[in-house]
Every structure is written in C-alpha cells, then in structure tokens.
Structure 1
C-alpha cells in the first residue's frame, strides 16, 4: 500500500499497540526536477507548489536530520509555550509543525493550522520551495549540520523509517551520501544553495547546528531578534530545559514515538544529537575519502562547520 492510498491518515501514523500488517514497503528513488525523490514526497506536487503561504508563516527548512525537530520545538515554545501550554501535552509536534511535502496529508495539515504564525517544516532544496513563500516574504529558518554527523544520523533514520529507500549497509550508504544519491539529494547542494540564497534574501536566518548545541540560551536572543519576538530572558531560560536533547528524547509529544512508519526497534528517531558521533562510524579510510571529497565540493563555499566540540 502506498502512503497516498491510506484512508485514515491519523490512525495510520499513530501507534496503538502494534505495527499494522499493511505498513508501506520501502520506496525507490527516482529523479525529480534534478533531485532524488520518492513518491511519498512528490505525488501531490501540484498542490504543494500551489500552496498559499501567508505573510506571517514561518518556514523551517533543513536537510533531513539536521535539527528540524529541535528548531521546530524551539519555535513552538517561543510562540505558543506560554499562551497555549495544553498543546505541549496533547498535540504531537508533527501536527503542530506539519511537514509540507508529505503526501499522506500533503498541504492539508498546514492549511488547517489555526495558529498565527503557522510553523511549517520542509526538506525541499531552495529551488523547489513553493513560490508563495517568496511572494509573501515569509521568514525562513534554515538549519545546517556538519556533513559527517548529518550522514550518520540520516543513515539511522533511513534504517528505521519504513517507507524510505533501503539504506543498505554503512559502507554503501557512505558512498551514496558523497555522491548525493539519497533522498532529497546532495548535502552539498542543499546547504550551499540555501546559504547562497540567504546572501540576497534578508528573511532567511541561517543556523549552524553546533552553535545551538553549545547552548540555546546564548543563541536565543539573536533568534528572537530575527523573529521579532520580545520574550524575556526568564522566558527563554524556561524554554532551555525543555529543548535539551535528553528531555526532548523522553517527550512523547516530540520524539516521534507515536508514528507507526518508524520502527523504534531498529533505532530511535532522536538518537544522540551530538557533535562528533561520526567518529563512532567512520573508518580512517572513510574519513580521508570524505575530507578529500569535501575539500573539492566546498572549495567555493564560505560555510564553516565544527566536527567536534
């Protein structure tokens, strides 16, 4: 059964006591406007591209497993943690901050949001973002994570997400990541195209993952300034505890444990969240190969990442 054919979206996504027998089979990548894609993110493409953004919408954009959930939760708490505390314990984060391109709900979840602003997330490369977000001059937050840790985290997500293409073993995945032959394409193209767009578009706020990792509180004033929020230091301190990785990992409204399309017996969706975990996966030879590849593909980029802290 394909995701687009599922009649009861919420019942399908949410776990009762066991995984259903008709979970989707793993999909196969195909070229979609120059980007490796699967039908679950492209089947309703016309509707996605015709999505009508509002001027106060906020788009959270990332390459997969680069801090999407983290920043989504931060923004949800900044905007609604104080005014609507009940949503934190009754509505999963994936409903509060819907995924724009997921076919099983398409843009419907985003269109149904009654909050102002609407917080919406996407993994689309910058050239595929619906034009209304640009026409409405929406604020966008892009999060980029160092490629080594991003690769490791994405590998484990692909292992446990049951409709994603089969990741194969670590060695083959490593090769395909460097080639950009994985879902949503090249890490290099993704982070660099958004970085280039940021240079001419002042409504894009570009966050490097390790800066948040070193402490949300220290970064929160800059983020709130971009968003136009006047939250007090005390309010930001209260948020800091909730957005610590270990606390999010235990929070069932945040950690995606209610999704049937993810097999937590294989891996946790929120696994480690560290800077430097790549060292537990890369061989010496792989690290040398990666560094050479990175040097070539990032030679014209001014982006700077840290691979350990």
Structure 2
C-alpha cells in the first residue's frame, strides 16, 4: 500500500491519505443521524469504536465481526483505500437506514464541517499525552506505512518529534486544546470523553455516552458484558488475524509512569501547562 507524507493547513498527514481524501472528508455531506468519533491517533479509537458498534448493533456484532468488517462499519473518513476510494465514499456506501458511525483523526479545521454547521453528534476522546506518545512510537515502528518515515534511535528521539508536532496529525497540544474548546462551545452536540475514565469509571462513562446519543440506558449486566467483549485482549485477538494487527496495542493506562524518561516527563508536563495554563483539565494530562 502506498504511503504519502504531506502537510495540509499546517497539519502533517502520513500514510494512506491524500489532500483530496482529507478535503473530501471535510466537505462530505452528512445525514441527521450520523455519529462522529474524533480522536488524536492512539487515544482509544478502536476501543470506543467497538463500544459504539456494540451499543448500536449489539455486542454479538462486535464478537462476530472481523477487523475488516469493523472498519467497514466505522470508516475512517480521511483515508484513501488501496482501491482508490476515499473514506467519505465508503460512508456513502453504508446501506440506507443503517446507523452511520464515522471516525476521523483531524483537528477541527479539517474535520467534517457539518459537525459544526449542522450540529452533528460527535464524541471526542482525549488521553494523557505521555501515554499517547508511548503508543504512537510503537505504532509508527510497527505500521509499515509509517515505519519508512520513522527511524528513531530509541524512544527519546520520537518523544522529541512528538513535542515538536512532527508526527501524524501534528501537535497533540494544538489538537486537544482546539477540540476541547469546541466541546465547551457545543455541549449539546459534542461530547468530551477521557480515555482514563473508561478505565476508572467505565459504567458512568457508558451512561454518559448512551445519554448523549439518546440510547437506552444499559443495565449493570449489559455494561459488564460490553466491557468484557470490547476489552483490549478481545480486540487484539480480532485484529491479530488481519493485515492491520498493529492497530491494537497494549491499551494500558498510566504506562508512562514506568516507561517515560524523567527528563521528558518534565518537558511534556511543561508543554501541557503552557497550553492549558490555569484550566482544571490539566490534572488529566500531567
């Protein structure tokens, strides 16, 4: 599969993307019932994707779907496939009447415009940048479409690139600050979810999601089954059988505490404090 590298409106794209596919996603025509999932890469995308598939189509759909089928159920909008189709075109191929679940990794300036102009329901997932960077480094080394761009001599070299925003989708800090602002400005249509809350407050987070999407509240038993069938071990077992086995990583929370170089803990936390200043959300990221 081809792998491009380019910047569009200041945002770095690397992998199976083109300027045309990104812009097609931005200007795609949405439907009133569309649900968008927006994440910075390596922030729990696959986990939340499968939670949403289970909430809309049932847990059995997650258990029975291959990686390819899950991707078809939940297309990445800015993607250009090996056959030349854009992710936004795949969205339009979803059968009429079926719930459309659509994901992207773009910052607000390149995300689907209808999210804002037509108030489409959107879930934003954010994660501690130190855990994001650890997962992103491993992803870039394991993904053959990205490995050609990253020949890092150890973790610290990648962390330096991450701090500079020289990784796919550019600065985590820009991306996150901009999306948090959109969430706060549009609370009825854009929901903010913290990756860490899915670990520590799973039931409450699922209740928040179902309430936001006007779905039936799940029972305690249903939430337990949902958690079991969408956990990282189950997801890894599905993806290991595919050509994109590298998508599911460790799925751990606060791994940075044991693996991050001390020098870079300070550098990341200082960058977070610079961007968010007195915002109480800092506590989630340092």
Q: TM-score, normalised by structure 1?
A: 0.80
Q: What is the match of residue 110 of structure 1?
A: 91
Q: CA deviation at 1:246?
A: 2.3
Question: Which one is further off, 186-195 or 224-233?
Answer: 224-233
Q: CA deviation at 1:130?
A: 2.1
Q: CA deviation at 1:168?
A: 1.8
In structure 2, do the counterparts of structure 1 residues 245 and 39 end up closer, same or farther at CA, with 3 Å as the change threshold?
Answer: closer
Q: Which runs of 5+ in 1 are unaligned?
A: 4-23
2-side partners of 1:276 and 1:232: how far apart? 28
Say if 2:206 is the partner of 1:220. Answer: yes
Q: Which runs of 5+ in 2 are unaligned?
A: none
2-side partners of 1:71 and 1:244: how far apart? 10
Greater share of residues in helix:
2
How many corresponding residue pairs?
Answer: 273
In structure 2, do the counterparts of structure 1 residues 307 and 167 end up closer, same or farther at CA, with 3 Å as the change threshold?
Answer: farther
Q: What is the match of residue 150 of structure 2?
A: 166
Q: What is the match of residue 62 of structure 1?
A: 39
In structure 2, do the counterparts of structure 1 residues 79 and 295 end up closer, same or farther at CA, with 3 Å as the change threshold?
Answer: same
- The two structures, once aligned, show a CA RMSD in angstroms of 2.3
* Aligned counterparts, 1:1-309, within 5 A: 3=1, 24=2, 27-28=4-5, 30-38=6-14, 40-44=16-20, 45-81=22-58, 85=60, 88-91=63-66, 92-104=69-81, 105-106=85-86, 107-114=88-95, 116-164=98-146, 165-166=149-150, 168-169=152-153, 170-201=155-186, 202-233=188-219, 234-250=221-237, 252=238, 255=239, 257-259=241-243, 262=244, 268-299=246-277, 301-306=279-284
Q: TM-score, normalised by structure 2?
A: 0.86
**Contact persistence 2:24–2:78 (CA under 8 A):** no
**Contact persistence 1:140–1:204 (CA under 8 A):** yes
2-side partners of 1:240 and 1:96: how far apart? 20
Question: Which one is further off, 33-42 or 184-193?
Answer: 33-42
